[in-house]
Amino acid sequence: MADILLLLSIFSIWIAVFESILIMTGAIRFIHKQEKIGVHIPTDMDHYPTITVMVPAHNEGLVIVATVEHILQMNYPEEKVQVIVIADNCTDDTAAKLHAFLSKTRYVHRDVTVMERKGTGGKSGALNDGLELATGEWICIFDADAAPERNSLMFLAQKSLENPEKYGVVYGRNKARNRGQNFLSKCINLELVTAQRVYHTGLWELFKLGTIPGTNYIIKTELIREIGGWDVTAITEDTALSFDILARGQLIALAPQAEAYQQEPEKLSVYMKQRERWAKGNYQVVLDNFLNLFNRTNWRSKVLLLYYAISYFWFMIAIIVSDIIFIVNLVFQIIGLFKPEFNAPFQFSGDVYVYLVIAWALMYYIYVLQINLALASDIGQSNIRNFIYACLSYFTYAQLFILISIKASYSLTMDKIRKRESKWYKTQRFG
């Protein structure tokens, strides 16, 4: 039995390694293509679409003014931009600070609405209420802590014009504005850079496949209204919306130059709560869409579902099983140094255990390689310090994902058993 478990773990690790190599290949092709294409800043944007920028904000008094100022300073025709800030059930001075800021002469002529909302549904409910006031051809979403770069909105719209009939959503890249604060924020930065410069680019290059990141994206107003708005029952409304859009045959396109900065957790407790919510929400979306593997749903939906299922279920279970086997045997081997009568509970035939060690070593090599590939494509990020953090993060930061996955699975299971509603956790901000 132990041999079978170990062989399944080895096979799963090899599948994950193959997946990583395949996606890295796509990412390298994408990077080379982008170098040839270059960056184009238009001088005339008369033909660009009108856009409604919506910012859901629940008790965001610390950051909301800076966010709105960044939005109003973006390089996009003022007459084509409507801004709606939804002060969602705020008990702080979010709305008051916005009204004071917008009363300044420099911004009084801009089309900005501050909606003070009292309702349910969390972020999704706030966005749905804001949608009723939207007049733009596209809706742009920024979180309340976003600091979009000046050309971010222009790049998103520019990408949408490449294939306006097929592109239902266009999304950009999000960067950690506080990446140098401590070890945790530095590791989060490595994760963000790798996800966006390897996985996002690789999946887009290979399959024209993308997922909505939750902020720094635009979606067709007609499309989101046809869908019925954002799902108020989903913990990760962005992932749920991604599957819905792909099922309709629309593409979620990547605009790599459209970048925005955001705050990342600097405390482990805040990070764990945030990531547990994300994992739990993604588990739920995978379960909700699982039967689509066996019907006539768009093939990209199936690929994305398999990608999430492998990452969050199959591969995670394999890692947990192999880690348990490795740690338990290691403990018993140490005890055996002092008490030889103690035998390891997991006994393996032949070289099976050696194959597991080889698979682990290869997985570690691929892990470090893909991070450094991502860093090399981001100006100023490829250095010895980040290389060392990449090597260390596998044994520290990356292992947190196992604990997060276990907690998220348990919480979701309890929600189902007790028929309780999942709660949406708001990430804490700082000034």
SS (H, E, C) 192-246: HHHHHHHHHHHHHHHHCCCCCCCCCEEEEHHHHHHHCCCCCCCCCHHHHHHHHHH
d(Cα 321, Cα 325) in Å, to the nearest integer?
6
Closest to 275 (Cα-Cα) out of 398, 408, 428, 158: 408
Closest to 75 (Cα-Cα) out of 37, 48, 106: 48
- CB 390: neighbour CB atoms within 10 A? 23
128-132, 210-214, 323-327, 407-411, range with the lowest pLDDT: 323-327
Q: Can you give the pTM of this predicted structure?
A: 0.90
Cβ–Cβ under 8 Å, residues 83 and 55: yes
Binning the chain into helix, strand and coil, the percentages to the nearest 5 are: 55, 10, 30
- CB 409: neighbour CB atoms within 10 A? 17
Decide if pLDDT at 36 tops 80. Answer: yes
The bridge status of strand 167-176 relative to strand 217-220 is antiparallel
- CB 49: neighbour CB atoms within 10 A? 16
Cross-strand partners of 55: 85
- What's the Cα-to-Cα distance from 30 to each of 159, 257, 424, rounded to whole Å? 15, 13, 36
Chain centre distance of CA 81: 26
Report percent pLDDT > 70 for the chain: 95
Choice between 333 and 20, residue whose per-residue pLDDT is larger: 20
Average pLDDT value for residue range 406-424: 83
Give the per-residue pLDDT at 280: 92
Average pLDDT value for residue range 360-369: 90
- Cβ contacts of 395 within 8 Å, gap of 6 or more: none
When pLDDT is cut at 50, 70 and 90, the band that residue 343 belongs to is confident
Decide if pLDDT at 347 tops 70. Answer: no
Choice between 185 and 104, residue whose per-residue pLDDT is larger: 185
Average pLDDT value for residue range 92-102: 93
Q: Which two tokens stand for residue 344?
A: 């390891």
When pLDDT is cut at 50, 70 and 90, the band that residue 340 belongs to is confident
When pLDDT is cut at 50, 70 and 90, the band that residue 424 belongs to is low
pLDDT in tens, 297-331: 889 999 999 988 888 777 777 777 777 777 777 78
Angle ∠(210,213,216) on CA atoms, nearest 5 = 110
DSSP per-residue string spanning 16-34: HHHHHHHHHHHHHHHHHHH
Average pLDDT value for residue range 69-87: 96
Q: Which two tokens stand for residue 219?
A: 């979606």
Decide if pLDDT at 88 tops 90. Answer: yes
Cβ–Cβ under 8 Å, residues 300 and 249: no
d(Cα 148, Cα 146) in Å, to the nearest integer?
6
pLDDT in tens, 377-413: 998 899 999 999 999 999 999 989 889 988 998 999 9
Angle ∠(91,231,310) on CA atoms, nearest 5 = 115
Average pLDDT value for residue range 135-139: 98
Give the per-residue pLDDT at 423: 64
Q: Which two tokens stand for residue 233?
A: 């029952």
Give the per-residue pLDDT at 350: 61
DSSP state of 311: I
Give the per-residue pLDDT at 356: 73
d(Cα 137, Cα 410) in Å, to the nearest integer?
42
Mean pLDDT of the chain, nearest integer: 90
d(Cα 254, Cα 205) in Å, to the nearest integer?
10
d(Cα 38, Cα 33) in Å, to the nearest integer?
9
Cross-strand partners of 88: 117
Choice between 98 and 13, residue whose per-residue pLDDT is larger: 98
- Cβ contacts of 33 within 8 Å, gap of 6 or more: 205
Q: Is 287 helix (H, G, I), strand (E, B) or coil?
A: helix
Q: Could you give the count of Cα atoms lying within 13 Å of 373 in the half-sphere of its Cβ? A: 26
Report percent pLDDT > 90 for the chain: 66
Cβ–Cβ under 8 Å, residues 145 and 139: no
pLDDT in tens, 153-162: 999 999 999 9
Give the per-residue pLDDT at 431: 59
Average pLDDT value for residue range 200-222: 96
Residue 400, judged by CB atoms within 10 A of its CB (0-12, 13-18, 19+), counts as middle
143-147, 193-197, 249-253, 423-427, range with the lowest pLDDT: 423-427
Average pLDDT value for residue range 179-202: 95
Give the per-residue pLDDT at 349: 62
Decide if pLDDT at 44 tops 80. Answer: yes
Give the per-residue pLDDT at 429: 64
DSSP state of 78: G
Give the per-residue pLDDT at 428: 66
DSSP state of 175: E
Decide if pLDDT at 219 tops 90. Answer: yes
Decide if pLDDT at 430 tops 70. Answer: no
